[in-house]
A and B are shown apart, each in its own frame.
Chain A
Amino acid sequence: MAAIFNLDHPAHTVHWHFFSMSVSNVIVIVLMLIVFVLAIALPFPKHDVGGHSS
């Protein structure tokens, strides 16, 4: 990863009033939110094997 991304510098941070967080952490949190929304919104594949009860 270090060969792909230059990591030889202090972390970039997002500043907004009192809020201060590294860009990498912000990206991970945004990804978690996206995955959370997709997990609720996307339909789950159905298969008729009689494995479900009411």
Chain B
Amino acid sequence: MSAVRSKSWTVRVRERAVEALPPEKLLADKQPTYVSSWIYVFGVLSIASLVVIIASGCILALKGPGWWHFTGVGRFFNSIHLWAVELFFFVMVVHLWGKYWMAAWRGGRVRVWVTGAVTFLVAVPCALTGYVSQQNFDAQWISTQAKDAMNSVGIGAFFNLTNFGQMYSYHILLLPLAVVGLVVAHVLLVRKHGVVPPFRLEDVKRATTAERPTDLPPQESHA
């Protein structure tokens, strides 16, 4: 970081970005040994599923409902899109469980945890709006049933499930944009703070003894 801040905002942004995430941290070629566990694989599996979802969704958007309902190749990509979403939620839930039991918010990683949790919450309506964007009787049935849920909590005027245009826009633009943006922020924060280490054995032992101090020192952030 330079001692005197530049007047150019591009230079300031660049300096702050490099300061927060130097290249060797942004694109690290080494990971700590504790990452050698299958439980650490589910984050990247979630991203891989998301890539397939976005790619198959783009193809479906290009071709349209006549193609995805009535041609063999269209039905194939429709199924790829559906099952990639199923896989996405499957591996994301396992990832969430793993990080919850690791208390992955330790060591100044609260923002990592929060962006991950919010991604999950935003991904749910992102997927559900897909059910009402199919353009078939199934979508009509789901939308007329689900609108009652929206109305019962008072948001039916803002989130109208029988409004196809609104639901389709949410499904293919607004919510995917939010999910991808949150995932990018989540990954950058993981790169910045490092993968959360396992609990230290001495902390576990101390926590199970009677003379446990009330204010434990904060865990060191992984470098």
Contacts and interface: CB of A to CB of B under 8 A. Distances in A.
Interface of A: 28, 31-32, 35-36, 38-40, 42, 44, 46, 51-54
Given A36-B98, A39-B98, A28 B39 contact: no
Given A39-B37, A40-B38, A42-B38, A54 B94 contact: no
Contact of A52 (B36, B37, B93): B36
A35 B36 contact: no
Contacts, number: 43
Contacts of B31: 51-53
Contact of B32 (A32, A39, A40, A53): A53
B90 A32 contact: yes
B17 to A, nearest CB: 24
Nearest to B39: A39
A28 B36 CA distance: 26
Interface of B: 29-33, 36-39, 41-42, 90, 93-94, 97-98
Nearest to A44: B36
Contacts of A36: 39, 94, 97-98
B38 A52 contact: no
Nearest to A54: B33
Contacts of A38: 38
Contacts of A39: 37-39, 41-42, 94, 98
Q: Counting chain B CB atoms within 10 Å of each CB, which of A32, A42, A46, A54 scores highest?
A: A32
